Amino acid sequence: MTDAVRVRGLRKSYHGAYAVDGLDLDIADGEIFALLGPNGAGKTTTVEILEGFRRRDAGDVRVLGEDPQRAPRRWRYGIGLVLQNASDMADMTVVETVRHFAGYYPDPRPVDEVIELVGLTDKAGKKVRTLSGGQRRRVDVAIGVVGRPRLLFLDEPTTGFDPEARRQFWALIRRLSEEDGTTILLTTHYLDEAEALAHRVGVISAGRILAVDTPADLGGRSSSEATVGWIEHGETRRLRTGDPTAATLQLAARFDGPIPGLTVTRPSLEDVYLDLIGSPR
């Protein structure tokens, strides 16, 4: 099997209105896949169906080779969850918390190994309520990976993090992917997070997938026109061009040396995302 997730024609409605309307999706084994979309786009419903927490109306869904609606208990052991609003055991220590959840699995990772993996060895004996927000999130990840999941769901994992904590968390996610081969489905509103982590991103709106590609190529981003900017006679000039290298060489010849204030930019992931969902910039 090469796909951790395979979805065809997924539909789910509430009170006669489709939240998910004919969605197709493939996520490869070992891939970090980011699902992007505005509020109400169908992300949460889709992910809950994949996790086995919500029943679909129609469509074919396979997660780790099983239909989540009919999967046996052993299937659940291959799934890890890090929810947006995870509840914790505030008055238990980190090691007590991880050991508690390890008890639900037939072959859990060693508790000390998991705590080291998430960077909390020096906090193992501390009560969860004494930890910072970023450290608590690491406890959530420890709970999510203690059962050796093949597929890990991350729902808005770094909401409220400061920049340093976010980058430390990103390093942890990359380690899970690169060293353990864990497949990761990430939902996030931070486009820089998707660009930094995901092998591919999918954009969902009105219950349908609009585009799937690498962050660099989404929506033709890598081949779109670039904007070359420079300063001339005290004024900022800009030129849109499909060949920024040639334009820069022409400017260099004209200035006979360094080009004042030279910038070369292509559409950002945010630009492409907003265009895809039809939102004004």
For 248, the domain range is: 225-265
**7-55 pLDDT per residue, tens:** 999 999 999 899 999 999 999 999 999 999 998 999 999 999 999 999 9
Note the pTM of the prediction, 2 decimals: 0.85
Residue 69, pLDDT > 50, answer yes
Nearby residues of 193 by Cβ (< 8 Å), 6 or more positions away: 34, 158, 166, 170, 186
Q: What total of structural domains would you count in the chain?
A: 2
pLDDT top residue among 256 and 110: 110
Whether 212 and 255 share a structural domain: no
Of 149, 135, 161, give the one whose Cα is nearest residue 30: 149
* Span between the terminal Cα atoms of the chain, in Å: 41
φ/ψ of residue 50, rounded to 5: -65, -35
In the structure encoding, which two tokens stand for residue 133, read together?
Answer: 């927000």
Say how far apart CA 141 and CA 173 lie, in whole Å: 9
**Residue at 10 is within a domain:** yes
Neighbours of 84 (CB within 10 A): 12
Domain containing 172 — which CATH number?
3.40.50.300
**Residue at 199 is within a domain:** yes
Per-residue model confidence (pLDDT) at position 85 = 65
Say how far apart CA 23 and CA 9 lie, in whole Å: 5
**Residue at 237 is within a domain:** yes
Per-residue model confidence (pLDDT) at position 134 = 81
**Residue at 274 is within a domain:** no
In the structure encoding, which two tokens stand for residue 117, read together?
Answer: 């993996």
Beta strands in the chain (DSSP E): 3-14, 17-28, 32-36, 58-63, 79-82, 151-155, 183-187, 200-205, 208-213, 226-232, 235-241, 263-265
Q: Are 144 and 80 in contact (CB under 8 A)?
A: yes
**211-268 pLDDT per residue, tens:** 999 999 998 887 888 899 999 999 999 999 988 999 999 999 989 889 999 999 888 8
Per-residue model confidence (pLDDT) at position 242 = 86
Whether 229 and 165 share a structural domain: no
Whether 236 and 115 share a structural domain: no
φ/ψ of residue 130, rounded to 5: -90, -5
Q: What is the pLDDT confidence band of residue 280, given thresholds at 50, 70 and 90?
A: low
3-class secondary structure, 5: strand
Per-state percent for the chain, helix, strand, coil, to nearest 5: 35, 30, 35
Residue 1, pLDDT > 70, answer no
In the structure encoding, which two tokens stand for residue 60, read together?
Answer: 């074919």
Q: What is the tally of helices (H) and strands (E) in the chain?
A: 9, 12
**Residue at 258 is within a domain:** yes
**158-203 pLDDT per residue, tens:** 877 788 888 888 988 898 899 888 999 999 989 999 999 999 999 9
**114-153 pLDDT per residue, tens:** 999 888 999 999 999 999 888 888 898 899 999 999 999 9
